[in-house]
Structure 1
Amino acid sequence: MGDRFTEITHTSWFSRIGSSIKGLLFGILFIVIGVCLLFWNEGRAVKTHKALVESQGLVVSINAQEAAPQMNGKLVHLTGEATSTQTLSDNLLPVSVQALKLQRKVETYQWEETSHSEEKKNMGGDTETITTYSYEKVWSEKYIDSSAFKKPTGHQNPEKWRYQSELWTADQISIGQYQLSETHKNKINNFQTLVIPRNIELPKGVAQNSDGFYYGKDERQPKIGDQQISFSYIPAQTYSVIGDLVGTTLTEHIASNGRSIALLQAGMHTADAMFEKAKSDNATLTWMIRLAGSLLLIIAFNMIFKPLSVLADIATLFGNIVAIGTGIVSFLLGIISALTTISIAWIFYRPLVGLVLLVVAAGLVYLLKHKSNQVAKQSLRQHSIDEPIRAAGN
């Protein structure tokens, strides 16, 4: 069940110019942020890769079932069943299990607002924006602040929840003779559904169902504020771990360049396989941040050029043409800036590859300039053809 609310707003051309100028200032700020993000990312990637390569050459595999005091202070790899003798218990509901981790997941029935806007440009540069706000009831683990809704009346969500999501971790998790540090324990995340025994005594207002528990009057007709509660856990199982051995505890390893290394994977894996996966994960993260930084730069340049298209909107068709043109230029400048930043960073961290990227960026700059000159020459040529024709007509 949901409803909709439509709002029509009018924005004058002068107001749009003012807003676009403010956006220009934010665009300059976003360029600084994007450049810094891309430069930092290249340094992070190179340092992490070097730390992994260095650590891969130092690691020694040991038997988890045997004490190895001679390896104290050294980087080791071991594989075995991670266990804990501790019983983890929920402090609000009668759920407990001997496990490495126990997790309570709570979803609350709430109002959710979504909006869709359509903008229409009018002659003279003014705009008319039609925004439709839709309100739907959804199950969400996150709190939705209804006070920020455009139309909060009749769509209020409860400010306090009876139950919330929570995680419990065993104080000590061991693999054979050795214990895991907090850093390694935080990497254990392969949860599975916990089956709750039937006919247990429950708090008032809570009923048991096939998925776990339901807090509310009737799960067939949920009300705002009702909650669905489920549990998952991580039982004892085999893990492969890499870290510094300090006494009988595996801790994170600090490479010579200051980067920390603490690896853990479910199942039996060799040290080389774990390091290769870590290198692959590092490369994936690097590309994700590169794409995010490049997108931020494209958006930033588009914000900087926005006043031009708004000024041109005094004639709608001309404004649309300028918007398309500035969009293309923003895309090219964003990519060029990203490549240039990455190239400079790589010259700093990886000189040979950085120079190659810098040449590519320079090629794009030349292409952009060449295309601009072609357009300018074509416009002049067309103008020189049109002038005699108009003169002859007169």
Structure 2
Amino acid sequence: MSVVVTEESWFGRIGGAFKGIIVGVLLTVVSVPLLFWNEGRAVKTAKGLKEGAGAVVSVESDSILPENDGKFVYFTGTANTDETLADKEFGVQFNGIRLKRNAEMFQWVEKKSSKTKKKLGGGTRTETTYDYEKDWESSLVDSSDFHQKGGHTNPESMRFPSMTQEAGTVHVGGYLLSSSLTSQISGDDRLDVELENIDEDIRENIRVKEENGTTVAYFRPGGQYDDMPRIGDIRVSFTAVPNSMVSVMSQQKGETLQPYVTQYDTRLNMLSMGNVAPEQMIATAEAKNAQMTWILRALGSGMMFFGFMMMMKPLSVLADVVPLFGSIVGAGTGFVAFLLAAAGSLITISIAWIFYRPLLGVGLLALAGVALFFLFKRTRSAKKYAADEMGDVQPL
């Protein structure tokens, strides 16, 4: 463990806070088109899904009819392939949709934590603690960036990285699935690793152990693996996606499939695991659209909030000459930033809704007006309180 103490003066913090205004302005400006675009995306996707629900044609996957070319078709069947996917080094073979080699290396990992305290006069004192632990990681950890390098060195390369193989030709009945549809097939099964099938060049450095009902390979460069892992050891397991029952909604083009493009420019190209009705597939897509809409709303509103916070940061830093005053001002600016972001987000979304769906947009504008009213009321109350306090001070 290593502890580093750094201090920043009040003048240094002031300079940083004023520089942060530029970043705050950029965050606020970028959040507006993001929020506006998101509402348009959500509306177009919803309308596109509704159009798709009305246009879909149920067909049999075993018989492809020319009259369905260009139509949005729905069918079920078993996604299967004749290809055998293989990992030659570990001697694993599988006839199915996907084969994954999951590799992890035992490495040093740096954990960083910081505590910052304000000092009288406006400066800050920061204690940064660096802890080092050994753990299995799926990707290389660059130890050259560690704060404390001595005794915490990781290998520069990974002998057996993770890798994924996917069948190039997958059919459901007579239909050939596109790669975008094949990538939606899920449901991993764990596969065993058998020592006698592993390449002879690496076999002597590998030990196979049973874990969670399947066998896993442990590799140690230059020596036989034992029960105590060392830095640089690699753990390898395999999972695979078998031929599976699926439900598909896409546009027929001969025996191939491509995304169905609606008049709202929504691309519909869906696959669900199992025998799922088209109505349920559309409902699932609508739920995902709503979820993504709220995620992007939260992202845009959060960007606007932090933008306003950064623009008002100099006020709290100026008041930090007395830490208590700085905390009070910081809480006040945080509340004001929240109200401004709430109002700004609602106004942006409501304008977008007026553009895309007018009735709902008017209601949102009313909510934005309420947020601005509370902000104005709070500002007036604060001014009145300050004036009353000044009035209570009697001249000498």
Other-structure match for 1:57:
54
- Does the aligned pair in 2 maintain the 1:114–1:133 contact within 8 Å? yes
Cα distance change, pair 57–267 in 1 and its aligned pair in 2 (3 A): same
Confirm or deny that 1:176 pairs with 2:168: no
Confirm or deny that 1:273 pairs with 2:280: yes
- Partners of 2:108 and 2:128 in 1: CA distance: 18
Cα distance change, pair 220–335 in 1 and its aligned pair in 2 (3 A): farther
Superposed displacement of residue 128, structure 1: 0.9
Cα distance change, pair 144–43 in 1 and its aligned pair in 2 (3 A): farther
Residues 121-140 of structure 1: pairs in structure 2 closer than 5 A: 121-140=118-137
Confirm or deny that 1:317 pairs with 2:339: no
- Partners of 1:351 and 1:150 in 2: CA distance: 56
Residues 44-83 of structure 1: pairs in structure 2 closer than 5 A: 44-83=41-80
Q: For 2:246, which of 225, 239, 251 is the aligned residue?
A: 239
Other-structure match for 1:215:
219
Superposed displacement of residue 74, structure 1: 1.1
Superposed displacement of residue 106, structure 1: 0.9
Superposed displacement of residue 108, structure 1: 1.4
Query: For 1:26-77, what per-residue CA distance to the aligned partner results, in whole angstroms no more than 9, with x for missing partners?
Result: 1111112222221221121111111111111111000112232221121100
CA RMSD of superposed structures (Å): 1.6
Q: For 1:42, which of 39, 43, 48 is the aligned residue?
A: 39
Q: Work out the number of aligned pairs and report it.
A: 386
- Partners of 1:200 and 1:91 in 2: CA distance: 9
TM-score normalised by L of structure 2 = 0.93
Aligned amino acid, residue 218 of structure 1: Y
SS in 2 for 1:228: strand
Superposed displacement of residue 255, structure 1: 1.3
Residues 153-164 of structure 1: pairs in structure 2 closer than 5 A: 153-164=150-161
Confirm or deny that 1:90 pairs with 2:90: no
SS in 2 for 1:297: helix
TM-score normalised by L of structure 1 = 0.94
SS in 1 for 2:136: strand
Superposed displacement of residue 189, structure 1: 2.5
SS in 2 for 1:57: helix
- Partners of 1:285 and 1:255 in 2: CA distance: 20
Unaligned 5+ runs, structure 1: none
Confirm or deny that 1:352 pairs with 2:359: yes
SS in 2 for 1:324: helix
Superposed displacement of residue 198, structure 1: 5.7
- Does the aligned pair in 1 maintain the 2:186–2:273 contact within 8 Å? no
- Partners of 2:228 and 2:31 in 1: CA distance: 48
- Partners of 2:91 and 2:101 in 1: CA distance: 12
Query: For 1:267-293, what per-residue CA distance to the aligned partner results, in whole angstroms no more than 9, with x for missing partners?
Result: 101111111110111101111111122
- Does the aligned pair in 2 maintain the 1:184–1:251 contact within 8 Å? no
Other-structure match for 1:20:
17
Q: Report % sequence identity.
A: 38
Other-structure match for 1:298:
305
Unaligned 5+ runs, structure 2: none
Other-structure match for 2:348:
341
Superposed displacement of residue 190, structure 1: 2.1
Which has the larger displacement, 147-156 or 257-266?
147-156
Superposed displacement of residue 187, structure 1: 1.1
- Does the aligned pair in 1 maintain the 2:31–2:301 contact within 8 Å? yes
Superposed displacement of residue 161, structure 1: 0.8
Cα distance change, pair 301–249 in 1 and its aligned pair in 2 (3 A): same
- Partners of 2:357 and 2:104 in 1: CA distance: 48
- Partners of 1:197 and 1:64 in 2: CA distance: 38
Which has the larger displacement, 153-162 or 263-272?
153-162
- Partners of 1:66 and 1:165 in 2: CA distance: 39
Which has the larger displacement, 6-15 or 45-54?
45-54
- Does the aligned pair in 1 maintain the 2:38–2:297 contact within 8 Å? yes
Superposed displacement of residue 142, structure 1: 2.6
Query: For 1:307-349, what per-residue CA distance to the aligned partner results, in whole angstroms no more than 9, with x for missing partners?
Result: 1111111122211111111111112212222212211221221
- Does the aligned pair in 2 maintain the 1:183–1:252 contact within 8 Å? no
Confirm or deny that 1:251 pairs with 2:248: no
Which has the larger displacement, 141-150 or 324-333?
141-150
Q: For 2:339, which of 318, 332, 341 is the aligned residue?
A: 332
- Partners of 1:375 and 1:219 in 2: CA distance: 70
Superposed displacement of residue 94, structure 1: 0.8
- Does the aligned pair in 2 maintain the 1:122–1:128 contact within 8 Å? yes
Which has the larger displacement, 61-70 or 301-310?
61-70
Cα distance change, pair 16–40 in 1 and its aligned pair in 2 (3 A): same
